[in-house]
Amino acid sequence: MEGLNNRQREAVACTEGPLLLLAGAGSGKTRVLTHRIAWLIAEKGVDPFQILAITFTNKAAQEMRHRVDRLVENGAGSVWVSTFHALCVRILRRYIHLLEYGNHFTIYDADDQKTVVKACLKRLNMDPKQYPEKMVLAEISRAKEKFIGPSEYDRNASGDYRRMQIARVYNAYQDQLKQSNALDFDDLLFKTVELFQFHPEVLEGYQERFRYIMVDEYQDTNHIQFLLIRQLASKYRNLCVVGDDDQSIYKFRGANIYNILNFENEYPEARVIKLEQNYRSTGNILKAANGVIANNQGRKAKSLWTDQGDGDKVRYSSYDSEYDEAREVVAEIASLHDRGGRPYHDFAILYRTNAQSRIFEEQLLLKNIPYRLIGGLNFYSRKEVKDLVCYLKAIDNGLDDLAVRRIVNVPKRGIGTASVDKVQAYADTYGMSLLDAMFEAFNIPELKRSAVKFEAFTNLIADFRQLLKEGASLTELYDQILERTGYWKELQAEATEEAVGRMENLTELKNKIATYEEAAETPLLSELLEEIALIADVDRLDDDEDKVVLMTLHSAKGLEFPCVYLGGMEDGLFPSRMAMYSDDEDAIEEERRLCYVGITRAKERLNLSGARRRMVNGSPCYYPVSRFVKEIPEEVLDKGGAARSVRQEAERKASKTPSGFQNMLRKPYSYGSSAAQPSFGREFKVEKTEIDYQVGDRVRHIKFGSGVVTALVEGGRDYEVTVEFDRVGVKKMFASFAKLKKEN
């Protein structure tokens, strides 16, 4: 109990029966959870084997594990500290055969899912324009989160033609996954709940195993997670859920705030303890947060406080445009770093939408300030990384047709799509996997001379499997894949900056494998692939990197920074127009919770800012100050920057005329002609920027190299282009600035 406040001590000692722990932002909930585990082991004599702690990210699970290890000398390693998905993987690896799956199943990521849905639509002769892959997958995901399978979905869709068609895809999609012995992320929970439902003897075994259950971030749980926890806790009811309804911001992912709001209805005997003392932020920041969130109706009353003093006031600045906003924010960061001695990783720039990052990125580049964009292209989604992971998948699970199809001609072996389709037809006829059919290539008359090419590929896979049987390490296997496939030599021969970047990524993947092998008691390829599949983007945020962090407010949850800049504080942007005009009464309240999360990320300095004029779809729009700014108590708010005109100040200070890129940034509404400047009350005419590429085309940028166009948004006189670059990830830019060249 050393170092805990009274409320925390009370929560630690309350071990029997249901407990709702309402833990405000920065109130030390992780500390309470870890001390509670230690108390159960050391003071209550509970077998560590019978304790389960569930978190939402691998990073949080790892931190909790380390803290428990420091508190308890013996047995802490037997405590299960896990994410929901990792917990389900472990259970299914042991028992999924009861649901007629192989225990050696593959976990499909988002790209794999799209490929399967695309194939299903084609097989069912359904128009992908009428039923886009993303829409279909989102609908399937929502059904699984509600524990609705294909048959029930079909029954519920009766009379609704569109939903009846989606039911056909849902059914075909699940059949294909089962045929490939694969599960998607939603299946991990769905199949575990299904397993417990149809095999009560398995559930009873885990109820005995986990007599004490703790769930972190309970406000972010969805319906199927609620069902899973209810199943596990139903026998002993020693369930402690920790969360903050004021930080429930993932409704779009299926999170159900009523899981926490209605906890006492589900468990009438539950005890409720509030943690309101904050150890992160200064007093004025907390008063701002309390002032904003108090306007929500659907919440449990609580108020954060601290004994650390008031600190600086919260600063709000209003700028002429979003470009002025970004320039001034970055200039202040540069000043605090150069003159104040603050490291760059002290600073975080947060915003409501991904699109807002572009202007901040440009200004940081101009100032030569290093930054890290969270939420860009995931490391494991990069082409070269995914190629090598698919080799590992094919070696591990021969039933994974998607992985095999991706790599059979990578690097090029002269195996075309038509040849692969012939093998697929053979596989379908004889009810075997694509890889097994490739092993029988010489039995497929239609292949003719191309059978020898498949033989070369299958020989490689067989050799790699033999290496593992002979005791080769996973890093040795990885090296052999790079060498014997010719993948590494091909990149060396290319000798471009882009190829060097890809080689660096492949080296980093090897680092990952080596780190896993070092930590694992018995390294297994299947376990490595699970770990890769379960990694979240925020888990990869390196605390030691001295870079300014840019991220959306949704990505920032669970993190903290000494200095936070929260941009775009305008009605219509934050809260969003969609929320402002939504029929959903909770829409504005969710936006307000998101603002509360943003405010409470700040430890010492909080700077809010907005623009009086902002470019939207190529035209200037004028937004009022965000209602959330107005909800902050006047006594803690410094509006010193609200009245000044930054553009006038910048022009007064300017000693030389900006040119090139800087000039374009200063005048965002100027696209090469002064006539393009908006002037209400008169007409003006400008030529439309012309482009020769579309979504899906490969293009080249003079600085960022090659990439694929993933989105095009047409504005009044220009296009906003989103490109997923092979080397540097996702970038957004105006077509007139980017000068992208289409690659043949």
Token couple for 60 = 């949080």
Predicted pLDDT at 641? 58
Q: Which residue has the higher pLDDT, 633 or 129?
A: 633
CA distances in angstroms from 498 to 382, 385, 507, listed in the order given: 12, 14, 14
Contact between residue 388 and residue 482 where contact means Cβ atoms under 8 Å apart: yes
Contact between residue 248 and residue 260 where contact means Cβ atoms under 8 Å apart: yes
Q: Give residue-wise pLDDT tens across range 208-219.
A: 999 999 999 999
Question: 599-622: b or e for each residue (b if 16 or more CB lie within 10 Å)?
Answer: bbbbbbbbbbbbbbbbbbebebee
Give the span between the Cα atoms of 566 and 557, in whole angstroms: 14
CA angle at 509 for the pair 346 and 78, rounded to the nearest 5°: 80
| Dihedral sign, Cα of residue 663, residue 666, residue 671, residue 675 | negative
Predicted pLDDT at 715? 60
Give the span between the Cα atoms of 571 and 73, in whole angstroms: 53
Residue 495 reports pLDDT greater than 50: yes
Residue 744 reports pLDDT greater than 80: no
DSSP annotation string for 583-620: S-TTHHHHHHHHHHHHHTTEEEEEEEEEEEEEEETTEE
Q: What is the pTM of this model?
A: 0.72
- Span 365-381, average pLDDT: 81
Closest CA to 555 of 111, 220, 250: 250
Token couple for 626 = 């965000």
- Span 332-342, average pLDDT: 93
Closest CA to 81 of 106, 103, 49, 105: 49
Q: Which residue has the tokens 């991220």?
A: 551
Closest CA to 239 of 260, 262, 217, 213: 213
Lowest mean pLDDT among 118-122, 127-131, 643-647: 643-647
Residue 345 reports pLDDT greater than 90: yes
- Span 179-188, average pLDDT: 95
Q: Give residue-wise pLDDT tens across range 323-332.
A: 899 999 999 9
According to DSSP, the residues that pair with 561 across neighbouring strands are 602
Residue 656 reports pLDDT greater than 70: no
The count of C-alpha atoms lying within 13 angstroms of the C-alpha of 198, restricted to the half-sphere facing its C-beta, is 11
pLDDT band at 358 (very low <50, low <70, confident <90, very high): confident
For the chain, the 3-state helix, strand and coil shares in percent, each to the nearest 5, are 50, 15, 30
| Dihedral sign, Cα of residue 726, residue 326, residue 25, residue 554 | negative
Torsion-angle region of 254 (φ positive above 0: left; ψ -120 to 50: alpha; else: beta): left
Closest CA to 182 of 328, 425, 390: 390
Predicted pLDDT at 448? 83
- Span 485-512, average pLDDT: 83
pLDDT band at 652 (very low <50, low <70, confident <90, very high): very low
Token couple for 693 = 């590429």
Residues above pLDDT 90, as percent of the chain: 59
Q: Which residues are tagged catalytic?
A: 29-30, 216-217, 247, 601
Q: Which residue has the higher pLDDT, 183 or 532?
A: 183
Q: Mapping DSSP to helix (H, G, I), strand (E, B) and coil, where does residue 298 land? A: coil
Element (H or E) spanning 384, and its range?
Answer: helix 383-396
Token couple for 428 = 């379908």
DSSP letter assigned to residue 622: E
Predicted pLDDT at 688? 62
Instruction: Give the number of residues written for the chain.
Output: 744
Predicted pLDDT at 667? 35
Count each helix (H run) and each strand (E run) in the chain, helices first: 32, 21
Q: Which residue has the higher pLDDT, 139 or 499?
A: 139
pLDDT band at 619 (very low <50, low <70, confident <90, very high): low
Give the span between the Cα atoms of 322 and 665, in whole angstroms: 10
CA distances in angstroms from 654 to 508, 648, 649, 658, 668, listed in the order given: 45, 10, 9, 9, 18
Residue 258 reports pLDDT greater than 70: yes
Give the span between the Cα atoms of 514 and 534, in whole angstroms: 17
pLDDT band at 722 (very low <50, low <70, confident <90, very high): confident
Contact between residue 607 and residue 637 where contact means Cβ atoms under 8 Å apart: no
Element (H or E) spanning 223, and its range?
Answer: helix 223-233
Give the span between the Cα atoms of 623 and 669, in whole angstroms: 16
- Span 646-659, average pLDDT: 40
Lowest mean pLDDT among 91-105, 283-297, 492-506, 580-594: 492-506
pLDDT band at 675 (very low <50, low <70, confident <90, very high): very low
Q: Give residue-wise pLDDT tens across range 531-568.
A: 888 765 555 556 668 999 999 999 898 899 999 999 99
Token couple for 492 = 């060396």
Residue 378 reports pLDDT greater than 70: no
Predicted pLDDT at 227? 97
Lowest mean pLDDT among 114-128, 356-370, 419-433, 643-657: 643-657
Average pLDDT for the chain: 86
Residue 43 reports pLDDT greater than 50: yes
Q: Give residue-wise pLDDT tens across range 51-75.
A: 999 988 887 888 888 888 888 766 6
Predicted pLDDT at 387? 94
The count of C-alpha atoms lying within 13 angstroms of the C-alpha of 232, restricted to the half-sphere facing its C-beta, is 29
Contact between residue 86 and residue 534 where contact means Cβ atoms under 8 Å apart: yes
Torsion-angle region of 132 (φ positive above 0: left; ψ -120 to 50: alpha; else: beta): beta
pLDDT band at 269 (very low <50, low <70, confident <90, very high): very high
Report the 3 state secondary structure along 86-153: HHHHHHHHHHHHHHCCCCCCEECCHHHHHHHHHHHHHHCCCCCCCCCHHHHHHHHHHHHHCCCCHHHH
Residue 665 reports pLDDT greater than 70: no
Q: Mapping DSSP to helix (H, G, I), strand (E, B) and coil, where does residue 496 land? A: coil
Residue 686 reports pLDDT greater than 70: no
Predicted pLDDT at 707? 87
Task: Name every residue whose Cβ is closer than 8 Å to that of residue 335 and which is 6 or more positions away in sequence.
Answer: none
Predicted pLDDT at 517? 86
Contact between residue 99 and residue 191 where contact means Cβ atoms under 8 Å apart: yes
Lowest mean pLDDT among 199-213, 244-258, 286-300: 244-258
Element (H or E) spanning 484, and its range?
Answer: helix 474-484
Q: Mapping DSSP to helix (H, G, I), strand (E, B) and coil, where does residue 281 land? A: coil
Residues above pLDDT 70, as percent of the chain: 89
Predicted pLDDT at 152? 96
CA angle at 727 for the pair 731 and 744, rounded to the nearest 5°: 85
